[in-house]
């Protein structure tokens, strides 16, 4: 058993951890409200492609709570919507990107849903090519070392990425140079439709860490506290110069892979099993036990967050689409800054994402649920 495992599984929640769990719960509720609105827009033909995190969402937000937001670099994959909301991406930005609107600050309407990129939030550009972002995360960790910074790179990926050559290359280089990077695997047991047993000959991805000279830990990804503690320890270890680590969260995929997938490769029993592992009821029961949630409070919160998601979606729908003349812009050097990009010296002055921000073209009039009370 590694030290990461001991930390993840030991002890009851402290007062600060209990308050953190409440904030995780609120972000997950927001994520589900945004997710449902995306599915509605998809069925209306306004959003062409939807990928959502239901089942992964508690693990994403709990792990994101261990990251220094706006300082550490984050390298998400396409299912990390709840993580994005936790680190400061607004619902409005997510809708703008999904709708392909000109004012989308992440790609100017050029990318698929949840293909984020934000210099301000230190989100590395997401790639549609599975695992292609993992070497980028390692490069960011190497750059931090060269610059004498204590930034950590945190790379998220699904179990489908574990068989990619880029994953091996990234972990190998990180292990050799003991770089400050955390590899966070969201293992739902399916590489789209291919089951775990046909993608790995071992029961956990974390076991591979030893081959690259780094510790690894696997856990139930529906346990928010265990995920937060393991991620925090892995990040602290990396920040202290002790090298990379693997954190693996076993999570249920409660929906089809995407809006273009009929999920026919799973039996009714398998789908029911995934739904039964929904992490939200477990977190709800924990908060009720701690006295941090009233019995009827979730219904009121859900109504308010659904109204927020609907309002921000409607605002995004009303925004203009990109001009066709922009199609060849921002491909070569010298084209100027793309929408949402930081010009030299402009990013550092922006406020941190966990605090309430003044309303702007890409901000929300609603307070961010992870804001410290």
Structural domains of the chain sorted by starting position, each given as residue range(s) with its CATH number in brackets: 3-319 (3.40.50.970)
Grade residue 283 by pLDDT with cuts at 50, 70 and 90.
very high
Instruction: Identify the CA nearest to 94 among candidates 86, 102, 103, 104.
Output: 104
Find which of 42-56, 187-201, 227-241, 351-365 is predicted with most confidence, using mean pLDDT: 227-241
In this predicted model, which residue has the larger pLDDT, 249 or 332? 249
- Contact partners, residue 348, CB within 8 Å, separation at least 6: none
Q: How does pLDDT run across 161-215, given as a tens digit for each residue?
A: 999 999 999 999 999 999 999 999 999 999 888 889 898 899 999 999 999 999 9
Grade residue 5 by pLDDT with cuts at 50, 70 and 90.
low
Q: Specify the pLDDT at position 69.
A: 94
Across 122-139, average pLDDT: 92
Q: How does pLDDT run across 271-281, given as a tens digit for each residue?
A: 999 999 999 99
Between CA 257 and CA 351 the distance in angstroms is: 35
Q: Specify the pLDDT at position 370.
A: 53
Crossing angle of helices 224-239/15-43, nearest 10°?
A: 110
Q: Specify the pLDDT at position 258.
A: 81
Q: Specify the pLDDT at position 348.
A: 40
In this predicted model, which residue has the larger pLDDT, 15 or 347? 15
Q: How does pLDDT run across 293-314, given as a tens digit for each residue?
A: 998 899 999 999 999 999 999 9
Q: How does pLDDT run across 141-154, given as a tens digit for each residue?
A: 999 999 999 999 99
Grade residue 351 by pLDDT with cuts at 50, 70 and 90.
very low
Q: Residue 328 pLDDT > 50, yes or no?
A: yes
Q: How does pLDDT run across 250-271, given as a tens digit for each residue?
A: 999 988 888 888 889 999 999 9
What pTM does this model have?
Answer: 0.87
């Amino acid at each position: 058993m590694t030290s990461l495992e001991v930390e993840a599984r030991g002890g009851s929640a402290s007062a600060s951890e209990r308050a953190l769990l409440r904030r995780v719960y609120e972000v997950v509720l927001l994520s589900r409200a945004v997710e449902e609105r995306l599915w509605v827009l998809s069925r209306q033909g306004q959003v062409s492609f939807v990928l959502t995190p239901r089942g992964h969402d508690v693990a994403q937000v709990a792990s994101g709570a261990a990251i220094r937001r706006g300082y550490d670099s984050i390298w998400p994959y396409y299912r990390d919507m709840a993580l994005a909301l936790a680190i400061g991406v607004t619902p409005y930005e997510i809708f703008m990107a999904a709708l392909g609107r000109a004012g989308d600050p992440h790609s100017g309407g050029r990318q698929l849903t949840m293909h984020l990129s934000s210099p301000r939030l230190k989100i590395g550009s997401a790639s549609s090519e599975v695992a292609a972002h993992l070497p980028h995360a390692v490069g960011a960790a190497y750059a931090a070392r060269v610059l004498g910074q204590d930034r950590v790179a945190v790379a998220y990926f699904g179990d489908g990425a574990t068989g990619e050559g880029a994953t091996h290359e990234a972990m190998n280089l990180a292990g050799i140079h003991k770089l400050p990077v955390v590899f966070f695997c969201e293992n739902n047991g399916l590489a789209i439709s291919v089951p775990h047993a046909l993608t790995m000959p071992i029961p956990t991805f974390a076991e591979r860490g030893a081959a690259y000279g780094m510790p690894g830990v696997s856990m139930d990804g529906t346990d928010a506290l265990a995920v937060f503690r393991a991620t925090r320890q892995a990040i602290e270890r990396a920040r202290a110069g002790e090298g990379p680590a693997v954190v693996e969260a076993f999570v249920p995929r409660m929906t089809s892979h995407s809006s273009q997938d009929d999920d026919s490769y799973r039996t009714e029993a398998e789908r029911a099993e995934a739904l039964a592992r929904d992490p939200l009821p477990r977190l709800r029961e924990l908060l009720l036990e701690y006295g941090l949630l009233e019995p009827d409070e979730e219904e009121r919160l859900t109504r308010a967050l659904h109204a927020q998601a609907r309002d921000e979606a409607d605002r995004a729908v009303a925004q203009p689409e990109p001009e066709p003349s922009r199609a060849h812009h921002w491909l070569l050097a010298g084209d100027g800054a793309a929408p949402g990009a930081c010009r030299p010296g402009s990013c550092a002055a922006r406020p941190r994402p966990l605090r309430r921000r003044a309303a702007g073209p890409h901000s929300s009039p609603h307070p961010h649920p992870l804001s410290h009370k």
